A and B are shown apart, each in its own frame.
Chain A
Amino acid sequence: AQSVSQHNHHVILSEAASLELGCNYSYGGTVNLFWYVQYPGQHLQLLLKYFSGDPLVKGIKGFEAEFIKSKFSFNLRKPSVQWSDTAEYFCAVNAGGGGYQKVTFGTGTKLQVIP
């Protein structure tokens, strides 16, 4: 069964600091990987996703993530965070087949950006 681990539960950064949130998954086959963001009181929104091709994926709002297959990792990065990036970030993996997508989410990382 697939699983996702996010080791950072709560991250506090000052504005303009660089961000890297860890995500590791466990599944031996082909995977699709996602990062979602949940702003306070809001629903989940897709930041970026990896299906195939270039392992460095660029998403919205200046976020990017790198898929490293040998490390089973898909870490999220942003060179300079803003106060408006304060949110919960979820890594997710889909290893389902048969055309049906069963996405497993990590436990989330709460990012707090201090002005």
Chain B
Amino acid sequence: DTAVSQTPKYLVTQMGNDKSIKCEQNLGHDTMYWYKQDSKKFLKIMFSYNNKELIINETVPNRFSPKSPDKAHLNLHINSLELGDSAVYFCASRLAGGSADTQYFGPGTRLTVL
């Protein structure tokens, strides 16, 4: 069973388009995240939701809008895509509590903006 899944795995699109990436976790976790990994492998947190509520919102262009319809899903919508948005986007979910506290990552979505 896939714990954290993302769709699509690959996304190639033109500049200026609007696209969405979906994330689902079947672990029953309360907290979910979006990370961006650039071409140099630098991993940076973008957003975090806890029980459908936004709790972390890093300095990200407002073209990026997360949406959490329920605590098992956290989608990322990107408007007016730019070349610099090309990256791998990872979704993660978190099991909270004591020594078990850790994040589980999805397989990533490789976004290429042409």
Instruction: Count chain A CB atoms within 10 A of each CB in B98, B102, B107 and give the residue with the most.
Output: B102
- Determine if B103 and A51 form an interchain contact, defined as CB atoms under 8 angstroms apart: no
Q: Interface segment, A12-20, A21-29, A75-83, A95-103?
A: A95-103
How many B residues touch A, CB cutoff 8 Å?
25
Q: Could you mark each residue 82-114 of chain B with 1 if its beta carbon is under 8 Å from any beta carbon of chain A, else 0?
A: 000000001010101011011111111000000
- B101 in contact with A101 (CB, 8 Å): yes
Choose one: A32, A43, A110; the contact of B105 (CB below 8 Å).
A43
Chain B nearest CB, measured from A109 CB (Å): 9
Total number of A residues with any Cβ neighbor in B under 8 Å? 24
Contact A101 B43 (CB under 8 A): no
A102 and B31: CB pair below 8 A?
no
By secondary structure, the A interface counts as: strand
A-B contact pairs, 25 of them (CB 8 A): A32-B101, A36-B105, A43-B90, A43-B105, A43-B106, A44-B43, A44-B92, A44-B105, A45-B105, A46-B102, A46-B103, A49-B99, A51-B98, A51-B99, A51-B101, A52-B99, A100-B48, A100-B55, A100-B56, A101-B101, A102-B56, A105-B42, A107-B41, A108-B42, A108-B43
